[in-house]
Amino acid sequence: MQTRTLGTGGPQVGPLALGCAGMSDHTTPADEADAVATIHAALAAGVTLLDTADFYGMGHNEDLIRRALRDGDREKAVLSVKFGGLRGPDGAFVGIEGRPAHVKNALAYSLRRLGTDHVDIYRPSRLDPDTPIEDTVGALSELVQAGYVRHVGLSEVGPKTIRRAHAVHPIRDVQIEYSLFSRGPETNGILDTCRELGIGVTAYGVLAHGLLTGAYRQAAEGDPRAHWLPRFRPDNLATNLALVDRLRPLAGAHGISVAQLATAWVMAQSRERGTIVAVLGARRPHRVEEALAAADVALTDADLRAIDEAVPAGAVAGTRYAAPLMALLDSERGPKPSVTPAPAEETGAHHEHV
């Protein structure tokens, strides 16, 4: 697999990363043997960037990765770890924390759970509205100098925050939801800012939480996604599934699935928009194999135009998340006035890298 540098001076990674959230946080529990086999399959195929967070399964995900990394695997893996999502005993999210003391404390526990002396990319999962980003990144810079962290990343932040953070310490990577159904980073300045500053992008949600798999046909009774993802609500779902149907013949022309086409589209954006790595949310080895096939798809300029015509930017019905969750996203504010975050008790869900 061809590699690319994730940000100026950043690590060498493939065009695909493995998002491990679904192995620990999901509507249905993952089989641990399958999860471990998936990590092994990814590393064997050259998918070295493993994305996790200390709050995925409240530490379970980091423990799982430690158990999955066999002798010699730690040197192959590029561990990307998020922190700052606070959870209560019932698993609900209760806040965001970015104070310097928390940054260092959280890393200490992550290192222990991961069984390593350093993480390759360390990043706040969200912008803490009560802590200046300069303070958070300042603490991360100290951890880099001490050798506990190799590179500093960010997640779900807008251009102004990216610039402020980068002025304190070089940012190697910004993690953001980006897909055919989530084109905001193209228009709100995030991709342009990252390209200008030499910062890589890891795009999660490339399959739009399942909508772009091509297999999702109708809402299942009790599907929690309809509660916190407006695009799954009945009044929006028909429009969005019709857009998926428009991609089927384009995928068929390449002999691939809609999911593979959507993944290939994200990876192809690196041509014009700087280094972009697609985060694959997989829980079984065959999903890694399917995504690797997408990495081999060479979409032409004509293909990209046809895809844009089939799913124009802005054609998707519904916002990315429900209003309380949207209020927590610095990345969604752009030039608009800041939104006061919703009370923590209203935000019981978080993003999944699917």
Beta bridge partners of 303: none
Contact 208, 218 (CB under 8 A): no
Buried b (16+ CB within 10 A) or exposed e, 207-236: bbbbbbbbebeeeeeeeebbebbbbbbeeb
Q: Which one of the listed residues 56, 178, 216, 321 is annotated catalytic?
A: 56
Lookup: tokens for 6: 């994730």
Cβ of 21: how many Cβ atoms within 10 Å? 24
Contact 272, 192 (CB under 8 A): no
Buried b (16+ CB within 10 A) or exposed e, 310-331: bbeeeebbbbbbbebbbbbbbb
Spell out the residues 6+ positions from residue 321 whose beta carbon is closer than 8 angstroms to its own. Answer: 228, 229, 230, 329, 349, 351
Question: d(Cα 59, Cα 61) in Å, to the nearest integer?
Answer: 6
Question: d(Cα 223, Cα 226) in Å, to the nearest integer?
Answer: 6
Lookup: tokens for 200: 């890589």
Question: d(Cα 62, Cα 258) in Å, to the nearest integer?
Answer: 31
| End-to-end CA separation in angstroms for the chain | 21
Contact 100, 139 (CB under 8 A): yes
204 carries an active-site annotation: no
Catalytic residue numbers read 56
